[in-house]
Amino acid sequence: MASQVMNRIVVQKYGGSSVGDLVRLRGVAERIARTRAEGASVVVVVSAMGNTTNELIALAKQVAAKPDRREMDMLISVGERISMALLAMALRDLGVPAVSLTGSQSGIITDESHADARVVEVRPDRVRRALEDGLVAIVAGFQGMSRAREVTTLGRGGSDTTAVVLAAALNAEHCEICSDVDGVWSADPRVVPGAVKLDSLALDEALALGRGGAKVLYEEAVRYARDKGVSIVASSTFGTGTGTVIGPTPSPSAFAVTSDEQLVAVRLGGDPSATARAIAAAGGKVRRKHGDLVQVDVRNAHGGLAHLPGMLGPIAVVTAVRSGLGERLVDVESLGGALAAAQLTVLDSGCSGDLAWWQVPPAEVAAATRVLHESLGQTATSAA
Ligand code: ASP
Ligand code: MG
């Protein structure tokens, strides 16, 4: 038995662009070495290098119009394994003992839902043992194993989930999600020049943002963090910024606007149950149902949904998030009024909880984001 008293445990997740080439990958190894030198036991979760996952999916589509979902998982889980092995080698080269582990070796047990599996249990015995032996544990993100011992993946962006579930299971101090962006911003600064970085954000609002399509925060990961009480710090891998702390504390003044263009609209039609089953079988994730129409996320529907009856085509949704916004109809209507005043086309809209959403033509997403960000800023100031 390990007699060593365990250090505090820190989980760090590095996204695909942080390990996008070998120079950056070595830089990540150095960053990990520094954290370890500060006295922490470090668990690292790593994504596939750069564009690897997209390239693997493109390969699959060259051999099959609707690639089998089990085989797809065998294929796309490879990207993270390349990163984990290279990162462990780079750390050892720096004199830091490290071992790489796949999702299944790390005890990430999921349901059977290939390409969009849900974590049902975490048994990180090998990770814990590696830490007790003084090693940095490098875990391949985005993947797990079903009870039938099949390799599964957790949905696009799912390395965040790996990091959060491990942080919860290991009782880590916090879970740091490192990317090329310094934390969570009030909007994509490339779209909204006046966007600001949020210093802190409540898990509820972060969840609403993830649901709205924000790329820095994978919805499933935030949901798990909220349910298990894990604090997330979103920080930049190579920058000097202070990042965003995402935790249980309410952040009433924080607001943000995000958008999602990886959606299609489907009409439920005469046999809604059959349509619902067809959406699920194709790997579509229902975002919301509004009357007879459903908004479906197609990120993990690798064979597409074009064959579905009732398929209406691609749509875009812009989402505004602020604590309790969806319950303040006065504010929601004034935001809608700002879109109308800017002559933008609203095809559908709704609100609930911490958010309000507007379906707009894809070509108007950027303009709608700017208008909503500006109006929300004014609402926020007048409310303060
Ligand atoms: N490599 C996977 C993706 O590109 C998972 C992740 O990066 O989180 O979606
Ligand atoms: Mg991500």
Q: Provide the phi-psi class of 58: left if phi over 0, else alpha when psi is between -120 and 50, else beta.
A: alpha
C-alpha 383/C-alpha 268 separation (Å) is: 40
- Kindly give the number of the ligand 1 atom that is closest to the alpha carbon of 159: 8
Structural contact between residues 262 and 213, judged by C-beta atoms closer than 8 angstroms: yes
The token duo for 250 is 């309410």
Other beta carbons less than 10 A from residue 189's beta carbon:
13
Q: Which long-range contacts (CB under 8 A, 24 or more apart) does 347-351 make?
A: 347/315, 348/290, 348/293, 350/288, 350/290, 351/325, 351/326, 351/327
288 alpha-carbon distance from chain centroid:
18
C-alpha 295/C-alpha 297 separation (Å) is: 7
The pLDDT value given to residue 382: 53
Backbone angles phi, psi at 291, to 5 degrees: 65, -125
Protein residue with its CA nearest to atom 6 in ligand 1: 157
Pocket lining for ligand 1, CB < 6 angstroms: 16, 47-48, 53, 79, 141-142, 156-159
Residues around ligand 2, an ion, CB closer than 5 A: 157
First CA to last CA distance, the chain: 56
The residues near 135 (Cβ < 8 Å, ≥ 6 apart) are: 97, 98, 99
Q: How many A from CA of 209 to the centre of ligand 2?
A: 13
Q: How many A from CA of 109 to the centre of ligand 1?
A: 18
Structural contact between residues 164 and 175, judged by C-beta atoms closer than 8 angstroms: yes
The pLDDT value given to residue 379: 78
Domain spans, the chain: 2-180, 255-383
pLDDT block averages, 10 residues each, the chain of length 384:
66 97 98 96 98 97 94 98 98 98 98 96 98 98 98 97 98 95 95 96 94 88 95 96 92 93 94 94 92 94 88 96 96 98 97 96 97 91 51
Burial class (CB in 10 A: 0-12, 13-18, 19+), 81: middle
Q: How many A from CA of 177 to the centre of ligand 2?
A: 9
The architecture CATH gives domain 2-180: 3-Layer(aba) Sandwich (3.40)
Pocket-testing residue among 156, 237, 298, ligand 1, by greatest number of atoms within 8 A of Cβ: 156
Superfamily of domain 255-383: VC0802-like (3.30.2130.10)
Strands 41-46 and 136-140: parallel
Protein residue with its CA nearest to atom 9 in ligand 1: 156
Find tokens 């310094």 and name the residue. 182
The token duo for 136 is 């940095």
Find tokens 């924080």 and name the residue. 254
Structural contact between residues 170 and 124, judged by C-beta atoms closer than 8 angstroms: yes
The pLDDT value given to residue 6: 65
The token duo for 99 is 């071992």
